[in-house]
Structure 1
Amino acid sequence: MTYSQYAYVEAFINEKQRAWITAHVHMYEYFGGVAKILVSDNCKTAIVHNGGWYNQQVNAIYYGMAEHYGTAIIPARVRKPKDKPNAEGSVNGISTWITAALRNEQFFSLAELNAAIRVKLKEFNAKLFQKKEGSRLELFRDEELPLLAPLPATPYELAEWKQATVQFNYHISVDGMLYSVPYEYIKRKVDVRITDKTLEVFYNHNRIASHLRLHGRKGQYSTIVEHMPEDHQKYLEWNGKRFRQWAERIGINTYKVVDAILTSKRVEQQTYKSCMGLLKLADKYTTGRLESACEKALSYTASPSYKSIQNILAINQDKSVSAISEEETTHKNSHGITRGAGYYGR
């Protein structure tokens, strides 16, 4: 803080965007308020450097954080330490009171190091000035803190932006997880705002979907019913138990195939369309032929697909060999000797 020189110190592994923003959030929490102006270093993590000396722009994420806290960022000029002399001066004091004091200690985690830093920081801020009365803590508490703007209701949450294309199944894939958007946006490119807790989808700057962030194993689905086309919504009334009961009424082999399809995917709902298509084959080919086709498919593999059953029925592979042989014999006898006398007179 400029007037009191009240300081906040925290150690990080790097100075990337997540560490930079997290440091600011923790700093505001430590101070218990927000100053109207924030003078930052002119580093790449904070400033976009392609606009020339007189057109310095704060990057989008840093700007979003400043908007959240209601502060204005005025970056210091490059290699101009006098733009923030109190901060530069405090670095020297901190180097002696904290960095040097801990130089011979060994820490096994960043949290352990920061716990030790916090103890030394408290001592540093409470230390009495040499040339004036009081300490940094007293000066900040009595004269500076009352002038700070209050903290917002919730701390700023770092957001990451990505682009994604809406797939044919009206979902987008983000970090291996799938999130639904209204089906009208299939094949469209959308902007995705990602935080640790939420995921928001934007099209032309308008929010079209919002989900809780999924964590854990890859391939999980977050689907909102209203995003589904009407003909897809009808599948919601179906479940694995209902498909198995329907298949069991047709025959044991059909049941085995449906059960194999239902367990072939991590998310059972992904298999419902295949199960429905398979069981509907009975309407076209009869339940007896479907059961026979499933029996034949199971003789090849323990996990037949809908497509393999459909192919068996289409080329009549489900019919028994004896029935086919009898049919061929009848067909030949009805036409007599077809090779002709010339064949046998050679």
Structure 2
Amino acid sequence: MKTSQSKVDLYAAIRRDHRGGMSLRGLQGKYNVTWRTVRRAVDGQWPEPRRQQRRRGSRLDPYKPLIDGFLQADLDAPAKQRHTAQRIFDRLVDEHGADDISYPMVRTYVKDRRPQIRREAGIGPQAMFVPQTHPPGAQAEVDFGEIHALLDGELTRLYLFSLRLSYSGKAVHRVFATSGQEAFFEGHVHAFRVLGGVPRMHIRYDNLRAAVERVIGFYRYRKEADRWTAFRSHWGIEPFYCRPGLEGAHEKGGVEGQIGYFRRNHFVPVPEVASLTELNALVDQWDQADEGRRLRGRTRTVGDCFAAEQPLLRPLPTEVFETGRWFTPGVNRYSQISVRGNAYSVPVRFIGRQLRVLLHANDLIVYDGRTVVTRHERLGGRHGSRLVLDHYLEALLRKPGAFPGSTALEQARSAGRFTPVHDKWWSAAKAAHGEAAGTRALIEVLLLARHMDHEQVVAGLAAAYRAGALTADAVALEARKLADGDGDPVVPDRRGRPQTTTDGDATATVAFLADWKLSHLPPDTRPLPSVAPYDQLLKRFGHTAGKKEGS
């Protein structure tokens, strides 16, 4: 359109000069155009609009449906874990073998296509960062970022702690269930141990509640939390607090960008893990792999720069600082303690007593004096419960009717500790012994897990079920045989015949505990007893008895 408008202006100027008396040849030289163009302008014609050329096919066309699929999936993804053009390009190359396309092609298409798919989202103003120079080993930045992960099949909001050295760009990350003070402290400890030292000058923070209780005035003065003051004094941390709100975000732009990079490149698509321990193991691998990155404007990798910076860090202190927080809750009549608004089970023998709890970022440890009672994975949020079925077994032996509907049983099923094998054996035991006796037999089987591995008990249950042995002793014996490596030998029953079942499973045998004990006795090498010495006594007493009768 712009080109057509300039031609209209050209034609108008040619007509104006021609009316002023300029010759055709003069117009042709003045405007550097052909004689045909001058003739058309003088004759009153107007330039025709430029024809739009037919669009040629692109090498990106076969992959556009895939890109649209990625962008459609982003509609349901967390806001900070959506695909960038670079991530889409990497996935096309790695997962679909798109070696014939280039990144600029993908970037241009994504820029035009994303607003069409996500009409409600706009492109905000780009943040401006001022380059700075940081001496090695002197400064670092710390922050939390929100992430999501499929934790044991459920989409869960988690918190990513990040500590980034300003000189080398080396960053250490840790995922926690909360962003509280325990996670704040444990993230520092983990990062310092990985780095092998502490920055000598200062670490930049925003006004996290874990460290700052109150902002005083409008600049750098803060009222710190007491435990944070003790923690940073122990590790020799000099804090630098950024300005409150968005105005101070640029003061720690390195860690802000690092969290965004880490989230986009390692948490897209959303990872699926069974536990936080598994997820943090992946995070450690990703941190190690990121040392091969080369930051913009640098010729050396992050790992090379960190190798030069690490010796300049302040050495770690030798004393240990306990990052957890102590509580002394009482055990209620449900055999539970309440910590930070969530309930955790303890063995029923502690009902009515007061215990000590050491709360960490991802777990908690319950003590009776100095003895560890139990450990639990920490719950996020409030009003949740984490119950262990083993803690209630003694009470359930006395109240077997409460077992089927117990919350601890439901949680054990969800966690995979109470398997379908348990259910099948339980149903058979109830059918053979009755509801109460069959349930008690199952509870006695569950008590075996205190002395055997869970997998061995499940295997013993399966073997006993196939053989039709519905007693806890039989399950214990089968589990012990598997633990000792005896395999599955054929042991006769009390009548000397192998016990079998025809319920559709493979034929199996089972040994009774008394028979098994007799078969495992050591060989007896003693001679058989003899009654020959007693024959003399019989003759003597027999002779005396004969005389008395004769007399």
TM-score by length of 2: 0.29
Q: Which has the larger radius of gyration?
A: 2
Q: RCO higher in 1 or 2 (8 Å CA, sep ≥ 6)?
A: 1
